[in-house]
C-alpha cells in the first residue's frame, strides 16, 4: 500500500516511520487509503464533498490524530475539505501536512480547506508541514486554507512549516477568538530558486481578554518571492502581538504588510517586522570554528528556522 516514496513523504510531513497508533486518516493521490478511529476520536467521510469530519469527544486528553496527505501523480489537482470538532475541555494534537513527489512535467496541486471548532475550555495543537520533491519540471503547488473558531477559554496552537520544494503556495489562515481564548502561531517558511509564497493570517479578537501571539520566520533565497499579510483586529479588551522576521539572500524579494486595527479602547496590539541579510559577524564566528562559508551559512539558517 505504501511504497518507498510514500514512506519518505510521510516521514517528512508527519514524522511517521510506520502507520501510527491511535486515530489517523492517510490520503494518497486524492483517495483515502487507510484509517483508524478510537473510542474518543471518530473520523467520518463527508457525503457532499471530498474530505472528512474529525469528531473529538469532550474531555479527551493526551490523544492525537494524524491526517497526512501524500501525492505522487503529476497532473493531479486534489481538493479536500476537512472539519474538526474539538470537544469541550479536551487536550489533543492534530498532525496534518502534505508531501508531493513530482517526477513529471505536469503540475501536482493540493488545496486543503480545514475548519476547526475549538469548544469551550479545549486545547488544540495543530501541526501542518508542507514538502515537495522530485526531479521533474512539473510544479508542486500547495494552497492551505485554515479557518478556526475558538470558544471561551479555549486555546489553539498552530505550527505551520514549509520545509522545502514547494514551487507556489498561498497560505490563508482566519481565526476568531472569543472570551479568554488564546491563539499561538509559529510559522516557518523557506523559498528558493523561483518559488513564490504568500501567507495571509487574519485574527479577529472578539472576546474580552482574548489574546494572540504570531511569530513568523522565513528565508528567501535565489530569485524567490515572499509576501506576508498579517492582520490583527481587536474588537474588545484584548492583547495581540505579531513578530515577522525574514532573512533575504541573493535576488529574492520579501514584503511584510501589517495591519493592526483597534476597534476598542482597551485593545493592545503590536506589530514588529524585520527583513535583512545574515549578519557577517555570525558567519565569521562560525568560520573561525572550522566551518566553510557555506557550512556557516547553512548553520545560521537552520537555527533561524528552528
- At 17 the pLDDT is 67
Instruction: State how far the alpha carbon of 121 is from the alpha carbons of 91, 204, 249, in Å.
Output: 9, 18, 43
- At 306 the pLDDT is 80
The distance from CA 162 to its chain's CA centroid, rounded to whole angstroms, is 7
| Other beta carbons within 10 Å of 226 | 25
Lookup result for grid cell 502561531: 185
Cell of 269: 496590539
pTM value?
Answer: 0.93
- At 18 the pLDDT is 66
- The enclosing H or E element of 294 equals helix 293-305
Q: Put residue 27 in one of left, alpha, beta given phi > 0 → left and psi -120 to 50 → alpha.
A: beta
In angstroms, the CA 35 to CA 27 distance is 9
- At 138 the pLDDT is 92
The secondary structure of 38-69 as a DSSP string is -SSEEEEE-SSSS-EEEEE-TT-EEEEEE--E
In angstroms, the CA 286 to CA 59 distance is 49
Contact call for residues 67 and 82 (beta carbons, < 8 A): yes
Taking the chain (306 residues) in runs of 10, the rounded mean pLDDT of each run is 86 79 92 94 96 98 94 93 98 95 94 97 97 92 97 97 94 98 96 96 98 96 96 97 94 93 96 89 85 87 84
Amino acid at each position: 500500500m505504501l511504497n518507498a516514496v510514500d514512506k519518505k513523504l510521510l516521514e517528512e510531513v508527519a514524522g511517521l516511520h510506520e502507520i501510527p497508533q491511535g486515530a489517523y486518516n492517510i490520503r494518497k493521490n486524492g483517495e483515502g487509503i487507510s484509517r483508524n478511529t478510537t473510542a474518543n476520536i471518530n473520523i467520518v467521510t463527508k457525503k457532499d464533498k471530498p474530505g472528512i469530519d474529525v469528531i473529538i469527544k469532550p474531555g479527551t486528553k493526551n490523544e492525537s490524530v494524524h491526517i497526512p496527505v501524500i501525492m505522487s501523480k503529476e497532473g493531479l489537482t486534489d481538493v479536500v475539505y476537512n472539519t474538526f470538532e474539538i470537544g469541550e475541555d479536551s487536550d489533543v494534537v492534530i498532525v496534518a501536512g502534505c508531501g508531493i513527489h513530482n517526477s513529471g512535467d505536469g503540475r501536482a496541486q493540493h488545496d486543503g480547506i480545514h475548519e476547526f471548532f475549538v469548544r469551550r475550555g479545549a486545547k488544540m495543537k495543530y501541526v501542518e508541514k508542507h514538502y515537495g520533491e522530485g526531479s521533474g519540471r512539473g510544479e508542486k503547488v500547495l494552497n492551505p486554507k485554515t479557518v478556526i473558531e475558538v470558544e471561551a477559554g479555549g486555546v489553539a496552537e498552530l505550527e505551520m512549516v514549509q520545509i522545502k520544494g514547494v514551487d507556489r503556495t498561498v497560505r490563508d489562515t482566519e481565526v476568531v477568538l472569543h472570551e479568554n481564548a488564546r491563539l499561538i502561531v509559529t510559522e516557518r517558511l523557506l523559498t528558493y530558486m523561483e518559488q513564490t509564497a504568500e501567507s495571509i493570517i487574519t485574527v479577529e479578537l472578539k472576546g474580552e481578554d482574548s489574546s494572540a501571539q504570531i511569530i513568523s520566520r522565513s528565508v528567501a533565497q535565489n530569485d524567490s518571492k515572499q509576501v506576508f499579510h498579517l492582520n490583527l483586529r481587536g474588537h474588545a479588551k484584548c492583547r495581540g502581538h505579531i513578530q515577522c522576521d525574514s532573512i533575504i539572500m541573493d535576488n529574492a524579494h520579501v514584503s511584510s504588510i501589517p495591519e493592526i486595527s483597534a476597534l476598542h479602547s482597551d485593545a493592545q496590539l503590536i506589530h514588529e517586522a524585520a527583513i535583512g541579510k545574515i549578519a557577517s559577524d555570525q558567519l565569521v564566528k562560525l568560520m573561525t570554528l572550522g566551518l566553510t562559508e557555506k557550512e556557516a551559512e547553512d548553520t545560521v539558517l537552520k537555527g533561524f528556522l528552528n
